[in-house]
Each structure stands twice: as structure tokens, then as C-alpha cells.
Amino acid sequence: MIKTVSRLQNPREWLAFIFVWGTAGFVTATFCWLLGDILWHGLSHISWTFLTAPPENAGRRGGIGPILVSTALILGVCLAVSLPIGIGTAVLLAEFTSNQNLFGRMTRRSLDVLAGVPSIVFGLFGNVFFCKTLGLGFSILSGGLTLACMVLPILIRSTEEGFRAVPASYRLSAAALGLSHTTTLVHLLLPAAIPGLLVGLVLGVGRAIAETAALIFTSGYVDRMPESLLDSGRALSIHIFDLSMNVSGGDANAYASALVLVVLLLLINGTASWLATYGLHRKIVTV
């Protein structure tokens, strides 16, 4: 990181300084307010039993064990489908297709549209297509596939940005060494584009794990421990929605579930950035 000149010579610099720090402070304060609220109300209900026990009395008592399992399975299906398609498409768009190519342009345009499709519309579509037309019914598979459609554009966009951020000299040197496109891609470009991919992953997982509207019509409402991917399973966010909007006296457990969700996300993000810094970075250095 290059240090810019940090002297605050003129009023404009001062103003910018105050403004930037002010914005950061404001965002942090809002966030702390929100998280503080969740922590304050949720922390006292968290225990090992809460994490493992099944919900009782419509979720007012008991835990969220089966719901955690369902959420993990839905997310797993979503990533297993969206990651290969997402990375593949991003590679194609960034490395193998020129900006003038018709196929590339059509794909990109359709992805731009997909990125904006409201989650509720994904819910309608998932319900009609996966649950009814493909006959998967209300199931973890339907939910995961619907989420995969939803996460794809985010994943592709960020990964593509990651590829575009790789200096052209990498490609030129690889070409000069006579490496094939495939080799260049796997050993040079992919590792270098990892930060972009991770941003996409974090945004995508964030959106998927927090999704309610798309899941309520696809993965369903059943809070039993799922036995296969064709079982209906209630995701954590739907549980929170149901507890806060439909079950009187469910607020305490709604807060606790929200807290669990936030902590889960923190873990995922932490792992992602740890991977970015230590796990995958070393590989480029070796190359």
C-alpha cells in the first residue's frame, strides 16, 4: 500500500478528512446500534441446548438444531451448483470472450437483469419451476437451486472484476512462455482473481443465508430434522420471520436466532479472508 501525502494543507483536505471519518463513524454507530440490539436481547438465550435441540411450542421454547442443519444443506446445495457455473461463466466472460462477442454480450446482459430480479420473483419462479414443473416439491433441493439462481450474478460479477483486475502482463508473460490458455488460467489467473471471487462469495453467501422471500415458497416451513435433500426444511431466516411476525411471544428466540445467524456469517467471512490471506496467497508466491 502506497502512503499518500497525509499533510492536511488546506481547508478542502480538512473537510474531506472530517467527512470520511464522520461517514465511517456514522456507519459504525448504526451498525453497533443494530448489533447491540440483537446481542442485548439474544445473548441470554444462547446455549448449547439452544443450538442442538429441536424447536418446541412453535419455536417459543426449545432450540434451532434442525433449522441449522436445513440452513446448512440449503446453502450447500446453493454453493455446489452456483460456484462451478459462476466461476466458469466469469472466466468465459473475462478471459475468453471479447467485448464485441454476441454470446458474451447476451450472457452479460441477461446476468445484469438477473442481478436485479427481486427475491420474491425468484420465490415465485422457484415455486413454479423447481417445486411444480420439475416435481421437487417443497424441499431443500428446490430452495438451494432457487438460491443458486439468485446468487449467480453476484458471484459472476465479482469474480469477473477479479479477473479484470489481474494485470495484462501476467497473460502476456504466460503467452510468451508458450503456456496454454488452460494452464494460464488454472495456475496464474485463477489464484490472482481469488480476492474478487471471495468478495462475490461473501456477498452471495450473505444474501443467500439472509434470504426469506425466495425460500418461503420453495424450501418450506417444516422445522423437523431433514432426512434427505427432498425433505422440506425451514431456513434460519424463515424461522426468524415466523417467530417475529406470526408467533406471539417468539421475539426472544427470534433475537437469539438472529444472533446465531450473524455469528455464522462472521465465521464464514473470517474463513474466507483467512483463506485469501494465508491459504491461497502462498500459491501465487510459489509460482
Partner 1 sequence: MYRYLDRSRKKTDHLLRLVLLASLCGIPGAATAQTPGTDQLSGKLVVTGASTLAPLISEISKRFERLYPNVRVDVQTGGSSRGVADARQGLADIGMVSRAMKDEEKDLHAFLVARDGVGIIVHKDNPVQALTDEQVVAIYTGRVTNWKEVGGKNAPITVVNKAEGRSTLEVFLHYFKLKNADVKAQVVIGDNEQGVKTVAGSRYAIGYVSIGTAEYDESQGVPIKLLPTGGVTASTETVRNGTFPISRPLHIVTQTPPAGLTKAFIDYTRSKAVHDIITQQYFVPLVD
Partner 2 sequence: MTSLHSNTLFRWSTDDLLCWLLRGLAAIAGTIVMLIVTFLIMEALPVLHRIGLLRFFTDPSWHPAEGFYNLTPMLWGTLFAMAGSVLIATPIGILSAVFCHYYAPFFLARLYRRLIELLAGIPSVVYGFWGLVVLVPMIGEMHPPGPSLLAGILILTIMILPTIALMADASLAAVPQHYLRGATALGLPRWATIKGVVLPAAKSGLFTGVILETGRAIGETMAILMVCGNVVQTPSSLFDPIRTLTSNIALEMAYALGDHRAALFVSGLVLMTMIVALAIAAEWISRGRYD
Q: What residues from 125 to 154 belong to the interface with partner 1 (CB under 8 A)? A: 137-138
Cα 61 to chain centroid distance, Å, stands at 30
> Which CB, 228 or 260, lies closer to partner 2?
260
Which among 243, 246, 195, 274 is positioned nearest to 41, based on CA atoms?
A: 243
Residue 39 burial (10 A CB sphere; 0-12, 13-18, 19+): middle
Q: Which residues pair with 62 in a beta bridge?
A: 55
Please identify which residue in 230, 263, 266, 267 interacts with partner 1, judged by CB under 8 A. Answer: 230
Helix (H) or strand (E) holding 55: strand 55-56
Nearer to partner 2, 212 or 228 (CB): 212
By CB under 8 A, what part of segment 136-195 binds partner 2?
Answer: 149, 152, 154, 156-158, 161-162, 164-165, 167-168, 171-172, 175, 178-182, 185, 195
Using CB under 8 A as the binding rule, the residues of this chain from 62 to 121 that contact partner 1 are 80
181 to each of 147, 172, 192, 243, how far by Cα in Å? Answer: 32, 11, 15, 52
Query: CB of residue 230 vs partner 1: minimum separation in angstroms?
Result: 5
User: Beta-carbon neighbour count of residue 181 at 10 Å?
Assistant: 14
45 or 164: CB nearest partner 1: 45
* H/E segment holding residue 212: none
Rounded to whole angstroms, how far apart are CA atoms 113 and 90?
A: 16
Work out which of 70, 142, 159, 232 binds partner 1, going by CB under 8 A: 232
Site for partner 2 in 93-112 (CB under 8 A): 93, 95-99, 103, 106-107, 109-112
Kindly list the distances between the CA atom of residue 264 and the CA atoms of 51, 52, 268, 270, in Å, as whole numbers in the listed order: 12, 15, 6, 10
Nearest distance from C-beta of residue 195 to partner 2, angstroms: 7
Span near partner 2 by CB under 8 A; candidates 55-63, 64-72, 90-98, 134-142: 90-98
42 scored as a contact of partner 1 (CB under 8 A): no
Nearer Cβ to partner 1 (137/206): 137
Q: Residue 68 CB: number of other CB atoms within 10 A?
A: 19
Per CB under 8 A, the list member of 105, 187, 207, 281 interacting with partner 1 is 187
Nearer to partner 2, 10 or 228 (CB): 10
CB of 191 to partner 1, least distance (A): 8
- Looking at residues 234 to 253 of the shown chain, list those that interact with partner 2 (rule: CB under 8 A): 236-237, 240-241, 244-245
3-state class (DSSP) for residue 121: helix
